Amino acid sequence: MRAVLDSTTALILCGGRATRMGGVDKPLQAFQGRPLARHVLDRIAPQTGGRVLISANRHLDEYRRFGVPVLTDTLPDFPGPLAGMLAGMTALAEPLTPDGLGSTGAGSTADALGGSGRPTDAVPQWHPGTVAGTDGWTSHPGGDAWLLCVSGDSPWLPTDLAERLAAALPPGRSAAMALGRESPGEPLRSQPLASLIHLGHRQTLAAALRQGERRVEAWLRTLPLALVPFDRPEDDHAFANINDRSELERLQSRV
């Protein structure tokens, strides 16, 4: 487990349209005085030794203020979290250059998808003051790395999410997905945006996107996947996320 955690980087997925919230950039909405994504970052960064990326497609300057590298999709029209996950895997797979993450920037991700990327928008830039620091950043050209994927609108993620997912990986499994509740009393449900995935699945993901797959859980279930219950009392709110303004107000009043 320790080896997995030491080679894990977190990816906070913030690239969606948020249509149910009127198109606002949901992870930037204030929750208890701070952006939702900042709550997520504060919970996740200690779990991965400060190795964190953000996937976003709007308000990039706002996300860069969080002090971690910001990646954009290489597919047009907001194709969903899978595109952000591929951008994260590509950033990990390529050597770090002075101008950004990856020797070829967005190009290799676009190439993997048949050349359909947006290279001008999508070059993942490294910005000063990152959590990891440029000297601490580690790329994994050989592919021996893991990506912890989480949603940017889940402010109460478990502070031991990475550890429990990694500990549950049996031999032969190279991905893990949490099963958790969004509120007390609910049954455990799949939480595809609380998953740990080996970098070796990068090409599998690229192929799925080329074939039109956009559902995170559907793709995860094609992998050697471990399902990890998060059913402790302290996990009751762990996977609460915000889909509309009424949910945001309800969660604001909970604490």
Per-residue pLDDT reduced to its tens digit, 61-72: 999 999 999 999
Question: pLDDT value at position 185?
Answer: 87
Query: Cα(124)–Cα(133) distance, rounded to whole angstroms?
Result: 15
Mean pLDDT, range 29-46, rounded to an integer: 96
Cα–Cα distance for residue pair 133/153, rounded to 1 Å: 25
We report the CATH number of the domain holding residue 48 as 3.90.550.10
Please give the Cα distance from 53 to 68 (Å, whole number): 6
Q: How many Cβ atoms from other residues are within 10 Å of residue 90's Cβ?
A: 28
Distance CA 12, CA 143 (A): 20
User: Which range among 21-25, 95-99, 149-153 has the greatest average pLDDT?
Assistant: 149-153
111 labeled part of a ligand binding site: no
| 95 in Cβ contact with 141 (< 8 Å) | yes
Model's pTM, two decimal places?
A: 0.83
Would the pLDDT of 188 be above 80?
yes
* Mean pLDDT value across the chain: 82
DSSP state of 104: T
Average pLDDT score over residue span 133-162: 79
Whether residue 255 has pLDDT greater than 70:
no
What number of residues does the chain have?
Answer: 255
H-helix or E-strand containing 198?
strand 189-198
CB atoms within 10 A of CB 116: 15
Average pLDDT value for residue range 6-26:
82
CB 10 within 8 A of CB 44: yes
pLDDT (mean) for 195-213? 96
Range of the domain at 111: 2-252
pLDDT band at 141 (very low <50, low <70, confident <90, very high): low
Cα–Cα distance, 69 to 45 (Å, whole number): 13
pLDDT tens column, 75-116: 877 789 999 999 999 999 875 444 444 433 334 444 555 443
Which among 186, 199, 147 is positioned nearest to 9, based on CA atoms? 147
Residue 153 labeled ligand binder: yes
Q: What percent of the chain has pLDDT over 70?
A: 77
Is 26 annotated to bind a ligand? Reply is yes
Q: Residue 48: its pLDDT value, please? A: 97
Cβ proximity of 176 and 193 under 8 Å: no
178, pLDDT greater than 80: yes
Residue 176: is its pLDDT beyond 50? Answer: yes
Quote the number of domains for the chain. Answer: 1
Residue 15 in marked binding region: yes
The pLDDT score that the predictor gives to residue 129 is: 29
